[in-house]
Amino acid sequence: MATNQDIPDVFVPLGTFDKTKLRLLDAEVHSFKKGKDSVENCDSYWRYEGDDGIMGRPFYEFPPQSTFGPSWNFPYGTSDEDKKTIDLATGYQLSYPLTSITTIDKPTDDEQYVRNLLDAHSELAWQKLEEECEKEEEERVVPAPTYNSYLGAISKGKKKANKAYAIKPIYSFPMIVPEGSKKGAKKVGDTEKPRRIYIFHSLVKEREEVYNAKLRSMDLVTGLCLPLKLEV
């Protein structure tokens, strides 16, 4: 069976996203080694239909925004000393604001486009989760904690489902402790700052030339062209 890395890339230019071309594949169970232990996880992969009709991994072009530098990801068990060597990185994470500081309440057309794009992913993720969790127990692939979160989300009925209980919001305001709060106070969203998402980019060795080409053409301050990962 082809792995996710064997799938062709589909570039989706700014303003051209069509949610009818978006797909979320059925959940699959995979395993990986964590030290001497084998750990299982459940994944669903995104696909997008290109102009040639072929389904591939989507790469979305986002509008220019100012952001901080990347936070590098390393293999499990990498020492702090080795983490100083970026060549060992398997990928990086970037915080991307959905708006500028001056357009929080009145996003530009491009900024609203990005939010609509992300909302389409969240909606499809919920549909897929609902579909999977409504199966009989012997047919369900998702692990018990995911299923229990789904039950909690629909505890007041599907029409009043608290989807954020089962699916982590793909974007949100930065979390802060309100000024003057007592110790241990609950964090709240800072609505004076732009909503943001975290974008993960994988640097897989067997795809090194492809990714390097994309990285050379990408300006971290003036634009993004990165694969989207939605945590479910």
Is the pLDDT at 163 greater than 50, yes or no?
Answer: yes
- E strand or H helix at 215, and its extent? helix 208-216
Among the listed residues 201, 221, 198, the one whose alpha carbon sits nearest the alpha carbon of residue 211? 201
How large is the average pLDDT for residues 76-87?
79
| Residue 77 Rama label (left phi>0; alpha psi -120 to 50; beta) | left
- pLDDT of 92 above 70: yes
What is d(CA 215, CA 209) in angstroms, rounded to the nearest whole number?
A: 10
Share above pLDDT 70 across residues of the chain, in percent, rounded to a whole number: 84
- Residues 185-224: tens digit of each pLDDT: 889 999 999 999 988 777 754 343 333 333 333 333 333 4
Mean residue pLDDT across the chain: 80
pLDDT at residue 1 tops 50: no
Closest CA to 174 of 161, 157, 189, 162: 189
The domain limits of the chain are 4-227
pLDDT in tens, 19-71: 999 999 888 877 777 677 777 777 788 999 999 999 998 988 899 888 877 78
Among 34-43, 67-76, 162-171, which stretch is predicted with the lowest mean pLDDT?
34-43
Integer CA distances (angstroms), 102 to 14, 68, 193, 222, in order: 21, 18, 9, 17
- pLDDT for 115 equals 95
Tell how strand 196-202 and strand 91-97 pair up: antiparallel
User: How high is the pLDDT of residue 229?
Assistant: 39
Sign of CA dihedral 16, 211, 171, 229: positive
User: For residue 137, which phi and psi values (nearest 5 degrees)?
Assistant: -55, -40
Q: In Å, how far are 17, 48, 125, 142, 167 from 137, measured between CA atoms?
A: 36, 30, 20, 10, 20
Output the pTM of the full model: 0.77
pLDDT at 219: 32
Q: Cα–Cα distance between 51 and 53 in angstroms, integer? A: 5
Q: What is the arithmetic mean of pLDDT over 119-132?
A: 92
pLDDT of residue 4: 56
**What is the pLDDT, as a whole number, of residue 86?**
76
